[in-house]
Homo-oligomer: A and B are copies of this chain.
């Protein structure tokens, strides 16, 4: 893998959870298990410190330490680090540190309030004046950021800033936006999808290059992607539909992340399922609900770390 390039950035890139201890401290050791879990289930790379990686709850120092540990455990896989911040200085500092640690790329979502096409161009002018040639994933996620980017503006950005090699597309309906982006951008840029994978088969059919999402059964995400790539559309849908009840259940914002971490803990991916406070805490009722859903699905549950790549 050419570290400096996002040209071949296709296939599953899991948006990784960040593991914490019960007291809220970072659990760096679990990153090794977690990485093995992701790679053992088909991830070609990881996006660490995304929204569902609880990036917003960390200090910059913690961000750098977390990314460094994922990089150390990458074992040849691509590591993309979320560095979005209302503070450009913080974005730049974290970028410099994680690239120095060996990250492959950063992911940036423009900050709330960047609201006209010209303001967006200027924002990335400022960004790239500071981070230079750093390979970059542009995150299009208006529900979270409040920033809307039209397909024509995204083309302007991609043309002005060749550092942008991937669009993480999660502006709803992502399905139709991917169609429009493919018309605007051709195939020079990779488009990966988000939104917890909830529209994955259709997104892939419309030209996406793979999922960049999180799910407690990443083998579904990679499996659907492989099947679609091999032209087995029916097989892809069958696989997707089998997991859909749980996928939909996890797609409930921060509370869904709590669910996802709990399932992943039960699967052996990490020690402790806690989100860093303040955040949702699962009740006995929630846990019973999870258990009932898993049982219904009849899924192969336990992950054996020893079998991971």
Chain A contact residues, CB within 8 Å of chain B: 56-62, 86-90, 93, 112, 115-119, 122-123, 126, 142, 148-153, 172-173, 175-176, 179, 198-199, 202, 205-206, 234, 237, 240-241, 244-245, 248-249, 252-253, 255-256, 276-278, 280, 283, 285-286, 289, 296
Contacts and interface: CB of A to CB of B under 8 A. Distances in A.
A89 B57 contact: yes
Contact of A88 (B87, B88, B244, B278): B278
A61 to B, nearest CB: 8
Contacts of A93: 59
Nearest to A241: B245
Given A57-B89, A87-B59, A179 B285 contact: yes
A89 B117 contact: no
Copies in the complex: 4
Given A58-B87, A241-B245, A173 B255 contact: yes
B255 A89 contact: no
B117 A256 contact: no
A150 B118 contact: yes
Contacts of A280: 173, 176
Given A59-B87, A115-B115, A255-B173, A278 B122 contact: yes
Contacts of A253: 172-173
Given A62-B89, A86-B56, A252 B286 contact: no
